[in-house]
Amino acid sequence: MEPSPVLLRDAEFESRYLDFVARKYDRVEVFGFDLDSRRPRGGWPLLDLYTDLMTVGEAGAPAEMTAGMALAGRRRTLVRGAAGSGKTTLLWRMAVSAAQGQRTARDHLHEHIPFVLPMRYIQLGGGLPRPTGFLASAGLMIADEQPSGWAERVLAAGRGLLLIDGVDEVQEPERSAIRSWLGELLTAYPLCSYVVTTRTQAVPESWLAEWEFAALELAPFDSEDIQQLITRWYAVTSAGRGDPTETAALERRRDALLAAVVERPDLREMASNPLLCSLLCAVHDERGALLPHTRWELYDAVLSMMLSRRDEQRRISAHDITEFGREPQIQVLQHLAYWLQRNGQTDVDLARAHDLIAGLLPSLPRLAAQGTPETLLAYLRERSGLLAASAPDRIGFVHRTFQAYLAAKAAVEQGDFGLLLARSDDLSWQDVVLMAFGHARRRDSRQLFVNLLHRAEENPASRVRLQLLAAAALGYTTEVEPEVREQIEHRLAQLIPPRTPAESDALAEVGELVLEFMPSPDNLDPDGPEARMIVRTAQRIGGPAAHELLRRFVEARRLRAAQVQRPPARPAPDSVRVDSWPTGPRQVASTRRTLELSGTDVPPDLDRLAATVHHVVWRAAAPPYTVLRRLPLLRTLVIADTPALTDLDGLARLPRLRALRITGCPLLVDLTALALTGVVFLDVSPNPGAAALAALAGAPRLRVLGFPWPAGDFDLEGLRRSLPGVELVPRHVVRM
């Protein structure tokens, strides 16, 4: 029986559509090089630069895993994250994986048809699209080629992957319309897969719980993520260089930046997400050692770099405008940005943009003589790299952070401090308010701080957030009067210690300043809930001061443990054989090596050793995950005397790991990452707690749990019931 003409047309278009999606979304702009001759046409290949993001579980759970693993097998997911955290890039990566039919950790995407639906591009005034209008609403050029009813047939068969991006990018009153529209889609097409992204503050994690959506949050970059992206950024931007001298210079700049982010906590804080880290790379590549000290300085440097490049460093413009220098460009851009911000929009139709520029030109007579509003806007779109088409007849900033920076500049120059203060408890204005502190003169900055603190006192419902906003603003200005800083620090001290994961995360956003006000372990129970939240906050902040605080809590716990009389452990068998450890047919026992790590630095001969290292002993203050991931044959791992370790999240990326022994890690309370490994044997000391042990039920290959701690310290029978199929024995020695 021959297939029907409808099926043939569907199959033909589907093949073309998937090829189009794979090419369209397999790209990423590398900030600072999107105007450079080194940039390939259409952007850099996404996979060359993509860093798999880490996620935090639902309800603030401390368990973390990569976004790819977290999304695997889920049909309905709400992904929340901060500005620049990589939400859109994550969806593009999923679209490419589905279009290419990749069988990876994202096997659930195989044979799905992706529909990328960016909310900022969709015109709410005309109604949210029905399936037939999905492609047109996303601005895809091949939309008119689709066979009639094709999208509905794909969704009805449960083959659709709906990637709904940026709920936060529409005004709050219109989000309920998106939710209702999504509910109708779920009712009509319940078998499809759905991923929805939004900024964290825009909607609660329960926003789609009615339809059984799991809620995930993209975690900030840790030190390892930052180093990985810096390394990839320089590898991508140096690809194809034929000049050894130029390549060597790039490698020196890369190494200098890697060293700088280790030495400077402020740089690590600035590079806390993919956008900021990429911007830092671009500024460092351009300016070398002249690195910024605040986020405001970082954005200022990026805009200066992108608006001031000479013609020979950029694409040739079709618009010969000789007097459109950096300052006039900024005047026009900030005028557009401020209008968008005041009107709660992220893009504008071209006709309105032309009118806005026309209204500004009387104050810029030299620029007015250079061209019409239409030619000036076209020039900015082509030359600045800051504007992009959001739809065929609409334009917006390439990232909302640039809109916030420029809108703040306009607000400060116009003296709109009252407006900034009035909007300070509006989440959509938070970035603008913070940026304003960087733009403001010292006198205005001081008054803005004072008024913000006063507003916090007058508004109990917003008090904590506004006080934290004032504290966060310290990171956007280089000069603050001592009495103002003292007021902020006094109020900040009232918020500490944190009592919940949410409070811990909010304080971690403020940075190292928080650590100065954390109570000493001498003044509270080092094993109590407050201590655990302090440790959690310090872990997320990182840096030398955080490490010192963690060390003090570890020492306090050790002293307390030494005072507790423990009964002797039961006698145990000498060894246990774990037959399921896989070994390749070409592996020879005599060639296996043990690698001992006492720091996070990569051994110079690691690549040569990697082919023979099966066993690692790790005695380091910080996890050496970068080294471990470069050991493809790693089977057994011993973690010893790492007092600051609280979780094993980095081990989720070691798929061949089979045996794990942990000792001397008293703050370890989270073993959930082992669910994403192939660990068969686990030996852990001291006792990580009942909750951590119960989480081992998710470790699919775990067969032996050794516990060198007294059975009376925990519910042995309860643990046996929660871990069926796992042998529990008091102590083991593994033949390695």
Tell me which of 192 and 716 has the higher pLDDT: 192
Q: How much is the pLDDT for 592?
A: 43
Q: How much is the pLDDT for 164?
A: 96
Highest mean pLDDT among 43-57, 88-102, 421-435: 421-435
How many CB atoms sit inside 10 A of residue 501's CB? 17
**pLDDT tens for each residue of 495-507:** 888 888 888 887 8
Flag whether pLDDT at 702 surpasses 60: yes
**pLDDT tens for each residue of 630-645:** 777 788 888 888 878 8
The Cα–Cα gap between 61 and 692 comes to: 12
pLDDT band at 586 (very low <50, low <70, confident <90, very high): very low
Q: Are the beta carbons of 567 and 711 closer than 8 angstroms?
A: no
Q: In what order do the strands lie in the sheet with 160-165?
A: 64-66, 54-56, 214-218, 76-81, 193-199, 160-165, 113-118
Domain ranges of the chain: 5-218, 238-291, 326-410, 415-495, 498-561, 589-729
CA dihedral 692, 694, 700, 701 (to 10 degrees): 70
Flag whether pLDDT at 202 surpasses 60: yes
Flag whether pLDDT at 99 surpasses 60: yes
Q: Are the beta carbons of 575 and 296 closer than 8 angstroms?
A: no
Q: How much is the pLDDT for 607?
A: 62
CA Rg, the chain, in Å? Answer: 28
Mean pLDDT of 686-710: 78
In single-letter form, the type of residue at position 77 comes to T
Signed CA dihedral, 9, 11, 15, 17: sign only: positive
CA angle (296 as vertex; 273, 535 as ends), nearest 5: 50
Q: Is 385 left (phi over 0), alpha (psi -120 to 50) or beta?
A: left
**pLDDT tens for each residue of 141-181:** 999 999 999 999 999 999 999 999 999 888 778 889 999 99
Mean pLDDT of 436-454: 94
Flag whether pLDDT at 724 surpasses 90: no
Residue 350 three-state SS: helix
Flag whether pLDDT at 382 surpasses 50: yes
Tell me which of 409 and 425 has the higher pLDDT: 409
Q: How much is the pLDDT for 576?
A: 30
Mean pLDDT of 570-587: 32
Flag whether pLDDT at 646 surpasses 70: yes
Average pLDDT taken over every residue of the chain: 78
Q: Are the beta carbons of 105 and 68 closer than 8 angstroms?
A: yes
The Cα–Cα gap between 692 and 719 comes to: 11
Mean pLDDT of 439-451: 93
**pLDDT tens for each residue of 112-134:** 899 999 987 775 446 789 999 99
Nearest to 169 by CA among 412, 354, 391: 391
Q: How much is the pLDDT for 642?
A: 82
Q: How much is the pLDDT for 110?
A: 62
pLDDT band at 547 (very low <50, low <70, confident <90, very high): confident
pLDDT band at 494 (very low <50, low <70, confident <90, very high): confident
Tell me which of 219 and 341 has the higher pLDDT: 341
Nearest to 537 by CA among 60, 81, 82, 53: 60
Flag whether pLDDT at 712 surpasses 80: no
**Which stretches within 600-712 are classed as H helix?**
606-609, 625-628, 690-694
Name residue, tokens 């851009």: 333
Mean pLDDT of 34-61: 52
Mean pLDDT of 282-293: 78
Q: How much is the pLDDT for 51?
A: 65
Q: In what order do the strands lie in the sheet with 387-391?
A: 347-349, 394-397, 387-391
Paired tokens of 326: 């950096």
Tell me which of 149 and 307 has the higher pLDDT: 149
Mean pLDDT of 364-382: 85
Q: Are the beta carbons of 76 and 194 closer than 8 angstroms?
A: yes
Paired tokens of 405: 């920076």
| Range with lowest mean pLDDT among 12-26, 406-420, 502-516 | 502-516
Q: How much is the pLDDT for 723?
A: 83
pLDDT band at 580 (very low <50, low <70, confident <90, very high): very low
Tell me which of 10 and 585 has the higher pLDDT: 10
% residues pLDDT > 70 (the chain) = 78
The Cα–Cα gap between 510 and 492 comes to: 10
CA distances from 513 to 492, 652, 674 (A): 9, 31, 33
Mean pLDDT of 710-716: 63
Q: Are the beta carbons of 538 and 550 closer than 8 angstroms?
A: yes
Tell me which of 69 and 498 has the higher pLDDT: 498
Flag whether pLDDT at 18 surpasses 50: yes
Flag whether pLDDT at 184 surpasses 60: yes
Mean pLDDT of 456-462: 86
Highest mean pLDDT among 443-447, 648-652, 675-679: 443-447
DSSP character at residue 314: S
Paired tokens of 181: 């529209």
DSSP character at residue 208: T
| Range with lowest mean pLDDT among 199-208, 467-476, 704-713 | 704-713
Flag whether pLDDT at 695 surpasses 90: no
Q: What class is the 589-729 domain? A: alpha beta
Q: How much is the pLDDT for 35?
A: 35
Mean pLDDT of 372-400: 82
| Range with lowest mean pLDDT among 64-68, 196-200, 241-245, 349-353 | 64-68
Highest mean pLDDT among 29-38, 205-214, 458-467, 700-709: 205-214
Under CATH, which architecture does the 5-218 domain have?
3-Layer(aba) Sandwich (3.40)
